[in-house]
Amino acid sequence: MKESLKLAALATVAIPNLDVVATRPPQLATSDYRYGGVLDVHGRHLVVQEPLHADADHALHKERTFLESLQGLSRKDALPFDVVEVLGTARTDDGFEAAVYEHLSGNELDYDFLKPGPGVTRSLGRAIAAIHELPFPVVLEAKLPMLEPAACREDRLAEVDAAARTGKVPTTLLARWEAALDDVSKWKFAPAVVHGDLAPENVLTGNGQVISVLNWSNAHIGDPAIDLAWLYSGAPEDSLDTIEEAYSIGRHERPDPHLVERAMLYSELAVARWLLHGVKINSREIVIDAERMLDDLNRHVIAASSPSAPASAWEVSGSISSDPVAETAAVAAETSDVAVSPEELSASSAEELSSSPLEDSSSPSADSPKSPEDTAPPVFS
């Protein structure tokens, strides 16, 4: 129970006069952060987020500066959903800076709930458009990156070149990706403020709407297509028209004609990034998994280009993990963690606080990505 004691103590340092009466979920850890929930005397449910290494500390600092910049706007006017408001910070024993913020309620977005028409699907399109309509100063004041179209294209070219050097990417895919990147006309777009890491776990829903968006450490000015890639790799095909329509209505400028193509390309290149991640950390398991996903994608690309292919590429496509690098890297680092249910944590909190100031719990592991057998990577036109 020492970790929860430590996190709750950090909360009291971060917020002067905070009177903690119990711990609450979440009580978990990833390879980057440790999280703990506390309940104060006024009934506020707060979350403590502690970085576990220097890169995580830097990412949390970037997110905090962005959120502070965002608070300078009238959020109700700028965004149709809530974002985290950091209430205080505290220095950890390792010299990192933990953040404390109020817990945001809601459920992680479920692709199965994305149906054509009003509701979560339309709300999601509006939410992404609202992010892309944010003024540039919220990013520039936070000293976050600004990537011009040429830089976005060059980054992807470098990614494809690195993947090619592994010798593990089918030549059909390499040719396909290089052709898309060589066509400079497809990379003429108006940069926008982007979230940079949109995925189901970062979008919370409730009452048929998107009610909050989390994890802004990758926010920057860049290609708006990057915030749509996860949808073209996982959302049901019949929901995409509603998302695109709501997104288009929410933008002051008409989206560029190659937005969807680039989004699909980004979703395919996620598999290349997964391969590169496995090579970088020398994980044979990840490399084999990436090779299987690449082979699966290659088969679908070949099928889509055959004379008998359906008119819509989506008739032969399915979904892949929206960000396999981030998602599975956490899994690999957490395979030994022991999961504890929220119910167990809630039931034990009051009892353990009666004999000690605060309480602790074990850490559940993250969900693993879908395997190649049950996924069919997308193809772009």
161 phi and psi angles, rounded to 5 deg? -60, -45
Tell me how far apart the alpha carbons of residues 66 and 141 are, in angstroms, rounded to a whole number. Answer: 8
pLDDT in tens, the chain (381 residues): 678 889 999 999 999 999 999 988 888 888 899 999 999 999 999 999 999 999 999 999 999 999 988 886 655 567 889 999 899 999 999 999 999 999 998 999 999 999 999 999 999 999 999 999 999 999 998 899 999 999 999 999 999 999 999 999 999 999 999 999 999 999 999 999 999 999 999 999 999 999 999 999 999 999 999 999 999 889 999 999 999 999 999 999 888 999 999 999 999 999 999 999 999 999 999 999 999 999 999 998 888 877 665 433 333 333 333 444 444 433 333 333 333 233 333 333 333 322 222 233 233 223 333 333 333 334 433
Tell me how far apart the alpha carbons of residues 369 and 324 are, in angstroms, rounded to a whole number. Answer: 7
Q: Place domain 105-147+191-256 in its CATH homologous superfamily.
A: Transferase(Phosphotransferase) domain 1 (1.10.510.10)
| Burial class for 379, CB neighbours closer than 10 Å (0-12, 13-18, 19+) | buried
Tell me how far apart the alpha carbons of residues 110 and 130 are, in angstroms, rounded to a whole number. Answer: 21
Tell me how far apart the alpha carbons of residues 272 and 266 are, in angstroms, rounded to a whole number. Answer: 10
Strand order from edge to edge, sheet including 107-108: 107-108, 203-206, 209-213
Alpha-carbon Rg for the chain, nearest whole angstrom, is: 22
What the block records as the tokens of 38 is 């506390």
Its pTM stands at 0.77
- Alpha carbon separation from 249 to 189, 254, 379 (Å, rounded): 18, 8, 26
Q: What is the DSSP letter of 36?
A: E
Q: Are 278 and 287 in contact (CB under 8 A)?
A: yes
Tell me how far apart the alpha carbons of residues 29 and 332 are, in angstroms, rounded to a whole number. Answer: 13
Q: Which amino acid is present at 278?
A: G
Q: In the prediction, which pLDDT does 380 show?
A: 39
Q: Specify the domain boundaries for CATH 1.10.510.10 within the chain.
A: 105-147+191-256
Tell me how far apart the alpha carbons of residues 113 and 219 are, in angstroms, rounded to a whole number. Answer: 26
Q: Specify the domain boundaries for CATH 3.30.200.20 within the chain.
A: 1-104
Q: In the prediction, which pLDDT does 227 show?
A: 97
Q: In the prediction, which pLDDT does 76 show?
A: 54
Class of domain 1-104: alpha beta
